[in-house]
Amino acid sequence: MLSYVLPAPWEHSSKFKKVLPRRFNPIKSNRSLKLNSKSGLTQENSLYHVVLTKSHINPADDPNGQVQTLRICGTYTSSKGAQDAAHRTIFEAGFERDWFVEYDTKEEEFDQSHLRHREGLAVFAKAKDGTELRVHVSVSKDTAGLRSIAGDDGKIHAQLYYVVVTSVLYSEDDTGVERENSVEAAFPSYAKAREFAGKVLLEGKAEDVLMPSKSDFAEYEEAEEDERDCGYGENVVVHAVGESGENFLVSVVQGQELESVRLAEAAMRIG
């Protein structure tokens, strides 16, 4: 029997509180908002980010109402480099294989588990208490020219700040558990990431609205310039309500390299 309570190495991760469902059709179109930040991606201008999320199946059991925690563990210049890192991430985070009743890494296993939102999914693990871990590889355009400072291993070793857009899919699940996370950009400074975060939803595209304004959303809330959240969770600087009940959360998240990886890489550099 699996009775071990999973540890939670998430002290510096982005934490989203539960957002109440709000069902509007704000975009003047019958299509969902599509972000432009990923348009024109090529192998030569892309970055690949390893994203580790921890989710609670029943948020009512969590006294803080926390649904999901997210941590970005590294950025690479190639898909292969990121995929290799993604398959090591859960173990490098301190978890062990026998803590999970389910551990999937292949498409056919994802099919058998009836997993949704599998774009970029590398690992799915589930503990007996219902806690789920997912490791995704999220692709973004190299907006800040970070590929030029990559190490010989194809990894960006600098401290980075990420703009993450989370779609809360209330049309699929009223609890807010169903979420999609997408890294839209990475920057070497918080200020640059914060600037990008404030406009990422306003550069989307919806059939007859090429450049939406804040008024095209039923609700649009943004943190003040001197604030780092707008009341919808740690690091969430923008909250907007979109078509079909989707709630968009835009976060600026500081990358948090896993300690075991950091120490190993430091030892290699010293050697």
Model confidence over 145-202: pLDDT tens digits? 999 999 999 999 999 999 999 988 776 666 666 788 999 999 999 999 999 999 999 8
Query: Is 2 part of a structural domain of the chain?
Result: no
More confident of the two residues 54 and 22: 54
Confidence of residue 21 (pLDDT cuts 50, 70, 90): very low
Structure tokens at 147: 């590929």
Question: Structural domain tally of the chain?
Answer: 1
Could you tell me which residues are beta bridge partners of residue 71? 52
Query: Is 7 part of a structural domain of the chain?
Result: no
Query: Is 9 part of a structural domain of the chain?
Result: no
Query: Is 177 part of a structural domain of the chain?
Result: yes
Beta carbons of 246 and 170 less than 8 angstroms apart: yes
- CA separation for the pair 209, 33 (Å, rounded): 9
- CA separation for the pair 34, 267 (Å, rounded): 43
More confident of the two residues 148 and 106: 148
Beta carbons of 55 and 177 less than 8 angstroms apart: yes
Beta carbons of 28 and 217 less than 8 angstroms apart: no
Report the range out of 14-23, 180-189, 258-267 with the highest average pLDDT.
180-189
pTM metric for this prediction: 0.81
**Tally of CB atoms within 10 A around 184:** 23
Residue 260 has pLDDT above 90, yes or no: no
Residue 254 has pLDDT above 90, yes or no: yes
> In Å, how far are 6, 85, 126, 131, 265 from 55, measured between CA atoms?
12, 21, 10, 6, 29
Query: Is 226 part of a structural domain of the chain?
Result: yes
Kindly report, residue by residue over 25-51, the tens digit of the pLDDT.
434 333 356 676 676 788 899 999 999
The chain-wide mean pLDDT, for the chain, equals 79
Domain limits at 97?
14-270
Query: Is 6 part of a structural domain of the chain?
Result: no
Beta carbons of 185 and 193 less than 8 angstroms apart: yes
- CA separation for the pair 237, 24 (Å, rounded): 21
Query: Is 31 part of a structural domain of the chain?
Result: yes
Q: Tell me the three-class secondary structure of 187-245, residue by residue.
A: ECCHHHHHHHHCCHHHHEEECCECCCCHHHCCEEEECCCCCCCCCCECCEEEEEECECC
Q: What is the pLDDT of residue 12?
A: 41
Query: Is 5 part of a structural domain of the chain?
Result: no
Percent of the chain with pLDDT over 90: 47
